[in-house]
């Protein structure tokens, strides 16, 4: 039963460029087209801020950003039933996320999606208004909460 499984602790990153647009990457591992902001698990003994900066390097391939905001609360979402027991090696029912807003301080040429084990095949900068329609449906409420928390930073 999925309610017996814990949530995976992780971080999410809303990376803004100088024009107030948000970085989204196209997932490599999805059967339907899915774009998302960078996110990833928090390693044992790692603080959420450290995890966010590590995930930025791993998924976006750059450290050229500064933290400009942090959500006070953690946000949770449940996986759809067909993914419970499949995603996250079957260990989690969904994710419990601490979200950070970062300002990208580099140039697009500083982004290297292949710097680590690639998770994204492509990326784009999108407006906050376009963001919810790009994401898989089960994460939309999470994205709307993150947009509400960070829209003043765009």
> In CATH, what number is assigned to the domain containing residue 74?
3.90.79.10
Residues 116-139 have a mean pLDDT of 93
Whole-prediction pTM: 0.93
User: Can you tell me whether residue 138 is helix, strand or coil?
Assistant: helix
Q: How confident is the model at residue 31 (pLDDT cuts 50, 70, 90)?
A: low
Q: How many domains does the chain divide into?
A: 1
Q: What is the pLDDT of residues 53-104, one digit of tens each?
A: 999 999 999 999 999 999 999 999 988 887 777 777 778 888 999 999 999 9
Check if the beta carbon of residue 128 is closer than 8 Å to that of residue 151.
Answer: yes
Q: What range does the domain containing 132 cover? A: 2-153
Tell me what pLDDT residue 81 has: 84
């Amino acid at each position: 039963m999925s309610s017996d499984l814990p949530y995976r602790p992780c971080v999410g990153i809303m990376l803004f460029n100088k024009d107030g647009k948000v970085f989204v990457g196209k997932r490599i591992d999805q059967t339907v087209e899915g774009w998302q902001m960078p996110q990833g698990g928090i390693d044992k003994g790692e603080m959420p801020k450290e995890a966010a900066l590590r995930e930025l390097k791993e998924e976006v391939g750059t450290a050229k950003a500064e933290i400009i905001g942090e959500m006070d609360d953690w946000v949770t979402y449940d996986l759809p039933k067909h993914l419970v027991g499949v995603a996250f090696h079957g260990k989690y029912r969904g994710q419990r996320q601490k979200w950070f807003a970062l300002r990208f301080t580099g140039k697009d040429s500083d982004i290297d999606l292949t710097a680590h084990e690639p998770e994204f095949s492509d990326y784009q900068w999108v407006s906050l208004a376009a963001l919810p329609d790009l994401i898989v449906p089960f994460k939309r409420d999470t994205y709307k909460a993150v947009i509400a928390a960070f829209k003043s930073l765009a």
